[in-house]
Structure 1
Amino acid sequence: MMQTGRLGGIARHARPRGPIEPIDHVSVSVVGGLQGDFRGAVKPGGKGRRQVSLIEADCWDAAMAELQVRPGDRLPWHARRANLLIEHLRLPREAGTIVAIGATLRIEITQECDPCSRMEELLPGLKAALLPDWRGGFLGKVLTDGEIAVGDEIRIER
């Protein structure tokens, strides 16, 4: 039986250190990644290993709990600067995993998304809380184009 989850959120940022824009739906392509996100375009000669970033809701929740952040003071998931929020599904912690979202989008997980010092600017201790067990998320390369929306099904294909 195939495990499935749901796309709980979509966010993008048009420039490095720019504001995060949560959105309800977006086009994602092999050439440009998440439409409107600065990381998506594959540079000439590049491999596109960081086109899209994903984070599991459970991992974000675990980091907030570890830091004992009260529910009313919690940072939103997109403060992590990830593009896609995965709910109700645990991804394999390995490169090469293929994740399907919606009808046609396919993303290959290329590596763990290590938290950067920017996380410390948001909340002291957050970088360390996101280090274990791929809590900081996943980076991926777009294999096939797709239109996605919050609520779409997410599947692990391999």
Structure 2
Amino acid sequence: MSGRVERIWIKRSKQHNMDEIGEVRVKAGKGIVGNADQGGRRQITLITHERWEELMRELGVSLDPSNRRANLLLSGIELANTGERVLEVGNTRLRVRGETHPCNLMEQVVPGLRDAMAREWGGGVFAEVLIDGSISVGDTARWSDESNKS
């Protein structure tokens, strides 16, 4: 099953707005070049368009997915229960390290959003960059054959 990169955002500094861009460069072990979050296990965050729309229907609101503050919005691919799997996006690979738990900022966006996102991987996933490369809007996203290797 393959998906598609729909939108890309970077956070130039902590607690500031996300800037939408068409392409990012990523560095292995670091994350997105120019993004505030560098290194560690949470180098890049992802959510799906389908999950975001489900959350919006549940809450009875219509908000732009940039409010989630994830780096990548994907469509056509499932992210739930994918810890430790490898996702090929553009010409790079990302190892999913876990479920993204929503922060208090989500409650400021709309009451109930944080709790809704906390269920069933609703906040998306965070990942580690395995190889240098680039990711562009329109790129394919698919699970790697190596997805179960450590």
Whether the TM-score (by the shorter chain) exceeds 0.5 is yes
Partner of 1:107: 94
Match of 1:50 among 34, 37, 42: 42
For 1:55 and 1:118, how far apart are their aligned partners in 2? 16
- What is the aligned-residue identity percentage? 34
Deviation string, structure 1 residues 81-133 (Cα, Å, up to 9, x no partner):
1000110111351321100011x210000010001111000101100111111
For 1:130 and 1:94, how far apart are their aligned partners in 2? 16
Match of 2:23 among 22, 25, 44: 25
Shift of 1:148: 1.3
For 1:109 and 1:133, how far apart are their aligned partners in 2? 16
For 2:25 and 2:4, how far apart are their aligned partners in 1? 17
Q: Secondary structure at the match of 1:27?
A: strand
Deviation string, structure 1 residues 16-65 (Cα, Å, up to 9, x no partner):
111110101110111431121111x22xxxxx210000001111111100
**Which amino acid is 2:104 matched to?**
S
Structure 2, unaligned stretches of length 5 or more? none
Alignment of 1:84-99 (within 5 A): 84-99=72-87
| Runs of 4 or more consecutive aligned structure 1 residues displaced over 6 Å after TM superposition | none
Partner of 2:142: 155
Measured on the aligned residues, the alpha-carbon RMSD in Å equals 1.1
Distance 1:13 1:137, change over 3 A: same
Length-normalised TM-score, structure 2: 0.92
Partner of 1:45: none
| Structure 1 stretch displaced more, 91-100 or 140-149 | 91-100
Partner of 1:83: 71
**Which amino acid is 2:15 matched to?**
R
Q: Secondary structure at the match of 1:55?
A: strand
Structure 1, unaligned stretches of length 5 or more? 43-47
Q: Secondary structure at the match of 1:6?
A: strand
